[in-house]
Chain A
Amino acid sequence: MLEIGTAFRAAFNLIVGFDPDLVEIIGLSLQVTLTAVFVACLIGFPLGAVLAVGRFPMRGTLVVLVNALMGLPPVVVGLGVYLMLSRAGPLGVLNLLYTPTAMVIAQVILVTPIIAALTRQVIEDMNLEYDELLRSMGAGRLSQMLTLLWDARYALMTAALAGLGRALAEVGAVMIVGGNINHVTRVMTTAIALETSKGELALALGLGIILMALSIALNATLMGFRRTAERLAYA
């Protein structure tokens, strides 16, 4: 039926031809996803640290909840954000529906629990080892959290990458709140869904190959960044 070779050729032609639509779509994908993951890190890292180090009632319940939210179905998040941002919804006056900002909001909701849950695990494990030491040095809860977050920075990069993977791959949420509008809210995954629905399977798969390559490039860049940073730290 469909040859994988045709898909690779489609991907190759798109890249080599420097297809302007493709460049635009990749640019928007990166912009939405990186912004969402960045915001999710700003929320998720401290939230994870509080859950790991903090001692307060309902902490266990919260941990279960955040862990469970890692499995939020994107389409449900999309629907929820749609209902909030719709003109008929409570935040309709903001006029954000069908904009990249709406897509960022949806992805922040999707990604934050992943980053927070993974952060909590990393920090909690680390805290088992350092809790006594840090407290004997007279560190308060806040500085204890900050110290652990800093020491765990490379492990937290993996948490951020897990979030990035989720954001880059999901289609359900951005499709609903972005509307897949050409030149405005079309990203890699919604373009793949569109080409599939047009029956242009080779082109759809070609776009998928490019998305994979993009993901590998992003991960490799961050890995290289980490290596360099570690070398500098020990030098």
Chain B
Amino acid sequence: MRLPILAATLIITAARVSAAEPFIIVQSTTSTQNSGLYDSILPEFTAASGIAVRVVAVGTGQAIMNARNCDGDVLLVHAKAAEEKFVADGAGVSRSDIMYNDFVIVGPHDDPAGLSDAKTVSKAFDKLESGDFVFTSRGDDSGTHKKEMALWQMAGVDPTQASGTWYRETGSGMGATLNIAIGMNAYAMTDRATWIAFGNKADHKIVFEGDNALFNQYGVILVNGERCPSVKAEEGQAFIDWLLSETGQSAIGAYRRQGQQLFFPNARK
């Protein structure tokens, strides 16, 4: 009795897939997805080009690994050094800056460690080394995690020595890490877009921001079709061209959450 129904749904699925418009797969980061940026700008691109964009949002490390396995046409992440290595290794064609925002440090509203008094992010991280306050780290090789590790190094602190005590590596995405930080009344580093769009802020607030070292650059790369024959190079390039065009750039700049601009377009003209 169930058999015909199941057979029908399978056929419908197959039909839906084959009749679908051309699409590309973009390996990307959670911050761009969770902040709602893609929901805002992708329909515009699809309407103009007829190309649907399927976003797989994971940490930057995993996104790069997936793209290395040829499981995507375009890579849009935020870890410049890793992106340049991706291109240098021949996995990607070329890398372009597309937009930026910045990282911030969030913490309990009364800021017990006094991070807001620090002049630089290095000084802020120094204050955490005392070990009296909990800091939750992504610990997942994402773009944010790579940045955080670079900042600790700049501060001359090796927090991984204290892993499990005041330094907690969650091994999870940005949202999960923020949920943990809020649950434990701890500090955490996040990109501003994710924080503004985050729905479970409780009493947490931004306690440190504004250091140039917290700059967060996003880049876009076409996966190399010579290495990965499955790559839809033409459609992927069309998407990249659109992102870098005036239309795409102003669509990125126009996106607001709670009246605030989350991403600042900076493609080279």
Contact = CB atoms under 8 A, between A and B. Distances in A.
Interface of A: 1-2, 31, 34-35, 38, 86-89, 92, 95, 97-101, 179-182, 184, 194, 196-201, 203
A86 B70 contact: yes
B82 interface: no
Interface string B51-90: 0001111000000001011110000000000000000000
A180 B173 contact: no
Given A87-B71, A92-B70, A92-B230, A181 B199 contact: no
Given A98-B56, A197-B176, A197-B179, 6 more contacts: A35-B9, A86-B71, A98-B25, A101-B13, A199-B179, A200-B199
A198 B197 contact: yes
B261 interface: no
A197 B174 contact: yes
A184 B42 CA distance: 15
A186 to B, nearest CB: 11
A99 B178 CA distance: 30
A34 B230 contact: no
A111 B2 CA distance: 18
Interface residues of B, number: 33
A87 B200 contact: no
B9 A31 contact: yes
28 contacts: A86-B66, A86-B70, A86-B71, A87-B69, A87-B70, A87-B71, A87-B228, A89-B69, A95-B230, A97-B71, A98-B56, A99-B17, A179-B25, A180-B57, A182-B39, A182-B54, A196-B179, A197-B34, A197-B176, A198-B34, A198-B197, A199-B178, A199-B179, A199-B198, A199-B199, A199-B201, A201-B199, A201-B200
B54 A196 contact: no
B201 A181 contact: no
Contact of A182 (B2, B6, B55): B55
